[in-house]
Amino acid sequence: MNFIFKSAVSAFSLFLPSIASADCYNNGASGRLANFCALNELLNTKINLRNLRFIDQKLKFEGRLKGLGFPNRLKKSYISKSIYPIVSYSDNINGGNSPKPLVIGNNTFRGDEALYRKEGIVAGLAVGLNGRYIHTERGYIKYNINSSYTQSPKHGIGISSTNASSCSINHIKNWWYLDACVNTSHIFKDITENKNKNISLIGSKVYSSYKNTYNKTSFGLNHYITETYAQNQVLVEHKTIYSNKLYSTFNFTIGGDVENQLTTQIAIRAQLIKELLNKPLKLSINYSKHDGGMLLGLEYNTRDIGISASYPVWKNLTINLGYKKSKSNINYYDNSTPSFGIQFNPIKF
């Protein structure tokens, strides 16, 4: 009887159209929000068997091992390796200082020209490893390691970076989640070396607010650690999938004071993704306020604002364009620079 039912569903589904639930996965939304969107779209929309199986696999990939009830099982352990080229513009390839004179009151300081920052195009290669282990019906662990090296053809110097992260994702109940994450970053330039680490605990809820509008709201705490100081931060995030194929994200960070250290007090990032000619156009704006710095007995602060856009001009090629402006109460730290990058889709194996 079960076989006859499945055969009938398969035959009938061939005559049904693909549905809007596919749009849930085509806008950059996170897995759990996209799944919530797709499941709700199923309630009022016809769907073919191929899309049902697709949603079933997506649910299982997010730790819901039963999915939609299809018999095919997903491996509990998954590992993906990737490699891709990098071409971008850097406004500080060597980690150097501004060539402008530093003016503090009536005093003027000029830096060593050998330590001036260098800018230009850099190109190189990146490799990555991503994986996850589904350990319960309601939880899984995901992890990734990425390493890259780029070099400036003009200056003959390079930038190497390594990033690693691990998160425990836990579905508590009724689309409430609790995530515990650790990530670390290490960037090595000709003059400078930067290391930092984040330890965060974030709770989130996935829900619908209006018809065909789906949201994920998150609140959490982050402990940011550098080689010279540690800072506690409050994190807020809101993501929305709209019925008109529009997707938005909003991130808000509030940082605590750290004595005699220039730290992030407020950081805001907003992004809109809209389908244009069947491809995602991404528009982003960032603002951050940094206070608490001390230089030769003088307090200093900075304000950064940036805008950017990205669009896949070809199947495996995305162009990124942007502009960033930094303003400080000490002119030495003022800076305006464009940003440019060519992003290639990774080759996975």
pLDDT digits (tens, 9 = 90+) for 256-272: 999 999 999 999 999 99
* CB-based contact 198:183 (threshold 8 Å): yes
First-to-final CA distance of the chain: 40
Distance CA 268, CA 297 (A): 29
* CB-based contact 57:48 (threshold 8 Å): no
Query: What percent of the chain has a predicted confidence (pLDDT) above 90?
Result: 61
Distance CA 167, CA 156 (A): 37
Provide the β-strand partners of residue 133: 77, 141
pLDDT score, position 3: 38
Mean pLDDT, to the nearest integer, of 12-37? 65
Ranking 8-17, 54-63, 211-220 by mean pLDDT, the lowest is 8-17
pLDDT score, position 9: 35
pLDDT digits (tens, 9 = 90+) for 295-309: 888 889 999 999 999
pLDDT digits (tens, 9 = 90+) for 225-247: 999 999 999 999 999 999 887 89
Distance CA 248, CA 273 (A): 6
pLDDT at 12 over 70: no
pLDDT score, position 165: 98
pLDDT digits (tens, 9 = 90+) for 146-184: 999 999 999 999 999 999 999 999 999 999 999 999 999
Segments of the chain assigned to CATH 2.40.160: 77-348
What is the band of 278 on the pLDDT scale with cuts at 50, 70, 90? confident
* CB-based contact 242:234 (threshold 8 Å): no
pLDDT score, position 14: 34
Q: What is the CATH number of domain 77-348?
A: 2.40.160
